[in-house]
């Protein structure tokens, strides 16, 4: 993935332009966009329901998109495709060629959830999660943006004290198409003692690190002008290169305060003092871990969206949470992260912020009304009511 300097800057700039609108919930209120909606057109969306609770929450999101779009004069054309376990069952492949082809021809990709117990015994290369990695690589969606925001309505639902989490607003920028998940060589073998071994390679090139660093610096420049780079440079050579490149790129952003933190300390500080962070940039593996940890500041994975953006083609928009196969088909899923992912799609790829505003306002309204699915419900909190997925959906549509 060796990119020339101009290509790096072009890819990073293309992503940074999409960061002009800040994401989703801020202290429980929507920041209304100053930009007006573009001229109406039909937006082609590749819809990937996937596995587990995926089809349930995707149904809510597409319905919400359609209703919100109709209010703003926007239309959506959905093309549903297979990915993950559902694709394995139907075609034997976690990412069929047809799915990737449709994704590339779309304006954006909306993905729900992948994986489940059913496919856990398959060889590593054939598991549902390989479909997710493959579509990210296939679309070159190298910049993963994961906001970790604690709205005031859910501060009491956090496992941490309210004063620690209320007002938390973090953006984690995770490199998504390199690192240990894609590095070669990888596989299984036998060592000199005859013991079976497994091995994976964590590798980054300077252009890959520079590209994601510039995205993170641009994001920080539009937020609180603070960027924390997370690595393990006291042990790993790949992290030493990471830190060196981030420092070099930082010289082009003198207005942004750059700090560095080892991954183990960062994991601790996210719980001890989460308000310290504004924007975090890190590798694929560390970003996977930190973003899931940060999502629990709000008490649940069920409220947080994410965007995986490329420099040119369509982005992938998906909830942070997994497929939750234990509650699939029981009307217990939380659809809000899926709806907020659709809102991010409207902002970053489709440039129709008015539709995003409607979706985010509806999410705020149902939270203000005290509606809670099981994952964000806390018994004894006044003014809240436990609801099912279908009930949450119905209330969302009313507010849209």
DSSP string for 238-258: HHHHHHHHHHHHHTT-TTSEE
Catalytic residue among 231, 288, 349, 375: 288
Angle at 34 between CA 337 and CA 104, to 5 degrees: 50
In 3D space, the residue among 172, 142, 176 whose CA is nearest the CA of residue 261 turns out to be 172
In 3D space, the residue among 218, 306, 288, 283 whose CA is nearest the CA of residue 255 turns out to be 218
Q: Which letter, b or e, does each residue of 329-366 get, where b requires 16 or more Cβ atoms within 10 Å of its Cβ?
A: eeebbbbbbbbbbbbbbbbbbbbbbbbbbbbbbbbbbb
DSSP string for 364-381: HHHHHTTEE-TTT--TT-
Contacts of residue 90, defined as CB under 8 A and 6 or more positions apart, other chains included, come to: 82, 96
Catalytic residue among 51, 181, 202, 349: 181
Sort strands 143-149 and 169-175 into parallel, antiparallel or unpaired. antiparallel
Q: Judge contact between 213 and 281, C-beta under 8 A.
A: yes
Contacts of residue 373, defined as CB under 8 A and 6 or more positions apart, other chains included, come to: 302, 332, 333, 334, 335, 336, 386, 387, 388, 389, 392
Determine phi and psi for 32, rounding to 5 degrees: -65, 135
Sort strands 143-149 and 305-309 into parallel, antiparallel or unpaired. antiparallel
Compute the distance between CA of residue 18 and CA of residue 348 in angstroms, rounded to an integer. Answer: 5
Contacts of residue 333, defined as CB under 8 A and 6 or more positions apart, other chains included, come to: 53, 56, 57, 302, 324, 327, 373, 389
Angle between helices 353-368 and 389-399 (to 10 degrees): 120
Determine phi and psi for 313, rounding to 5 degrees: -85, -165
Residue with tokens 């649940």: 300
Inter-CA distances, 120 with 74, 87, 116, 240, 333, Å: 41, 15, 7, 35, 22
Residue 288: active-site member: yes
Catalytic residue among 156, 292, 331, 368: 292
Residue with tokens 């001890």: 272
Catalytic residue among 232, 253, 278, 348: 232
Q: Which residues form the catalytic set?
A: 181, 232, 264, 288, 292
């Amino acid at each position: 993935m060796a990119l020339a300097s101009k290509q790096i800057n072009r890819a990073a700039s293309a992503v940074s332009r999409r960061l002009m609108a800040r994401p989703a919930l801020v202290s429980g209120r929507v920041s209304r966009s100053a930009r007006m909606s573009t001229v109406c057109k039909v937006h082609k969306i590749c819809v990937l329901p996937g596995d587990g609770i995926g089809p349930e929450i995707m149904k809510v999101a597409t319905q919400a998109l359609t209703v919100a779009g109709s209010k703003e004069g926007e239309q959506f054309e959905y093309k549903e495709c297979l990915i993950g376990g559902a694709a394995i069952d139907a075609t034997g492949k976690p990412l069929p060629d047809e799915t990737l082809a449709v994704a590339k021809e779309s304006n954006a990709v909306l993905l729900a959830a992948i994986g489940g117990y059913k496919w856990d015994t398959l060889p590593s290369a054939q598991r549902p999660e390989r479909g997710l990695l493959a579509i990210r690589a296939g679309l070159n969606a190298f910049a993963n943006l994961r906001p970790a925001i604690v709205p005031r309505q859910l501060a009491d639902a956090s496992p941490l004290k309210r004063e620690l989490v209320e007002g938390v607003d973090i953006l984690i920028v995770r490199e998504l198409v390199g690192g240990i998940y894609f590095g070669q060589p990888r596989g299984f073998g036998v060592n000199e003692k005859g013991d079976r071994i497994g091995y994976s390679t964590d590798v980054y090139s300077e252009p890959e690190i520079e590209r994601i660093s510039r995205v993170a610096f641009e994001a920080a420049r539009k937020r609180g002008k603070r960027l924390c780079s997370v690595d393990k440079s006291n042990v790993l050579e790949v992290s030493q290169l990471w830190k060196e490149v981030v420092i070099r790129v930082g010289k082009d952003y003198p207005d942004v305060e750059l700090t560095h933190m080892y991954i183990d300390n960062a994991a601790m500080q996210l719980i001890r003092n989460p308000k310290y962070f504004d924007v975090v940039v890190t590798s694929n593996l560390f970003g996977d871990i930190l973003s899931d940890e940060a999502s629990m500041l709000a008490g649940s994975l069920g409220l947080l969206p994410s965007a995986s953006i490329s420099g040119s083609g369509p982005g992938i928009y998906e909830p942070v949470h997994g497929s939750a196969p234990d509650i699939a088909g029981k009307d217990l899923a939380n659809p809000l992260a899926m709806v907020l992912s659709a809102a991010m799609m409207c902002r970053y790829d489709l440039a129709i912020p008015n539709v995003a505003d409607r979706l985010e306002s509806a999410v705020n309204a149902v939270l203000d009304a005290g509606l809670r699915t099981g994952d964000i419900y806390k018994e004894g909190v006044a003014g809240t009511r436990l609801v099912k997925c279908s009930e949450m959906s119905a209330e969302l549509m009313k507010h849209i």
